[in-house]
């Protein structure tokens, strides 16, 4: 029970401070980063400006100027005394697909691309469909979600792993 109370008191922003986010994501010091706190800690910023080559290509092809996408990283800590069991259950559910019933409106969720990740916490998986890394550690689940449209899926997974390692070192 004490472990559950301890997990409830952990501020996800303390495990992933803005300084670390700027370093990991190579965000320039003059780029504003907004922090959104709820049941998680989310950092949001504008991605890099389009390159000259991208601008020239758009101009040549008569397309509108490429936009700067919002990028973000979110860390959530979910207290759960059965973290390993819950992680396994979620993995199985995601790989098989499931139904969601919202007041009689049943929606089928197709199986997602989920794979185990070694070397993080007690056990972890990467959900490529959601860009989410979920880690079981002690009596809690840590979840890292990254939105960075310019990156390939493998690079997103590696980046999420780096974010998780940084946060786990502080836990």
DSSP state, residue 55: H
Helix, coil or strand: residue 43? strand
Sheet strands (E) in 21-157: 34-37, 40-46, 70-79, 98-102, 105-109, 114-117, 123-127, 132-137, 140-147
Chain segment 69-120, per-residue pLDDT in tens: 789 999 999 999 999 999 999 999 999 998 888 888 889 989 999 999 999 9
Residue 13 has pLDDT above 70, yes or no: yes
For residue 65 the two structure tokens come to 């100027």
Q: Are 77 and 142 in contact (CB under 8 A)?
A: yes
**pLDDT confidence band for 166 (50 / 70 / 90):** very high
Q: Check residue 150 and give its pLDDT.
A: 80
pTM: 0.83
């Amino acid at each position: 029970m004490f472990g559950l109370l301890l997990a409830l008191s952990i501020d996800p922003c303390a495990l992933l401070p803005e300084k670390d986010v700027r370093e990991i994501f190579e965000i320039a010091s003059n780029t504003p980063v907004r922090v959104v706190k709820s049941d998680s800690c989310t950092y949001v910023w504008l991605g890099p400006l389009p390159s000259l080559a991208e601008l020239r290509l758009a101009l040549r092809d008569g397309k509108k100027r490429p936009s700067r996408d919002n990028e973000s990283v979110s860390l959530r800590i979910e207290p759960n005394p059965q973290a390993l069991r819950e992680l396994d259950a979620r993995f199985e559910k995601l790989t098989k697909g499931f139904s969601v019933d919202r007041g009689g409106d049943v929606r089928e969720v197709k199986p997602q691309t989920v794979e185990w990740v070694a070397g993080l916490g007690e056990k972890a998986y990467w959900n490529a469909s959601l860009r989410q890394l979920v880690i079981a550690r002690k009596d809690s689940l840590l979840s890292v979600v990254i939105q960075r449209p310019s990156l390939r899926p493998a690079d997103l997974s590696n980046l999420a792993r780096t974010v998780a390692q940084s946060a786990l070192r502080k836990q």
